[in-house]
Amino acid sequence: MATTESTSRRGRVLVVSGPSGVGKGTLLKRLFDSAEFPLRTSVSATTRAPRVGEENGVHYWFMTREEFVARRDRGEFLESFEVYEGGALYGTLRKTVEESVRLGDWVVLEIDVKGARSVVAQIPDAVTIFIAPPSLDALRERLTARGTETREELEKRMAQASSEIAQSDFYRYRIINDDLDVAYEELVAVMREVARS
Ligand code: ADP
Ligand code: 5GP
């Protein structure tokens, strides 16, 4: 049931980008667990296969390319892109974002740079945050240690990383995730600024 507080709260759209393996998921999980802010995740849709431990409706809505394209053609996505060339499609469901904003929540979109540009074109007051690695070597180490990609997928992610980092000027906030605790404190400081704005 909606409380007075939730109905008077201003809904917001937060866009978080950064190369795969930089630590977006790790930082955001901590932020969600802290429960300091009225955050809600936007579960994206994708045509990629689930990784071990990933659940439908929790990590992504996993769907076939046919279903994805049909839903895209019906206008169900706020944005959708092939994030890695020749790879899977990823997209943000319009309904999730609209519902969250209506409820006064802060909906977090963990999306790539193309997606971020598309969202800002449609929602100019979206808050954009870029998480950068301390170096490309550190990024490679993290991706390797995570061990969730094949060699080929890892190389695709590394190839994309430099071009994503080169576009980080587009974002209102930029956080370097070197020491996790320091990066987390910076993220919390950004959230507090958002809460005041
Ligand atoms: P993303 O969601 O951006 O793809 P993850 O949150 O899955 O990245 O992080 C990738 C890997 O890097 C994970 O194994 C995570 O534990 C690790 N990691 C995250 N932040 C740091 C950090 N500051 N220093 C070292 N390792 C980190
Ligand atoms: P992964 O396959 O590692 O889960 O995601 C790869 C990248 O796809 C992520 O780093 C994220 O930036 C991007 N991504 C995930 N969901 C979406 C989405 O809905 N839209 C867009 N544009 N990118 C997404």
Q: What tens digit of pLDDT does each residue of 25-79 get?
A: 999 999 999 999 999 999 999 999 998 899 999 999 999 999 999 999 999 999 9
**Reported pTM:** 0.93
Give the start-to-end residue ranges of the domains of the chain: 5-196
* E-assigned strand segments in the chain: 12-17, 39-41, 45-46, 61-62, 77-82, 89-93, 106-110, 127-132, 173-176
Residue 89: φ, ψ to 5°:
-95, 145
Q: Is ligand 2 within 6 A of the CB of residue 112?
A: yes
Query: In this structure, which topology does domain 5-196 adopt according to CATH?
Result: Rossmann fold (3.40.50)
Ligand 2 atom 22, closest CA: 115
Whether 30 contacts 16, CB under 8 Å: no
- Residue that the structure tokens 């993220």 belong to: 187
- How many Å lie between the centroid of ligand 2 and the Cα of residue 2? 31
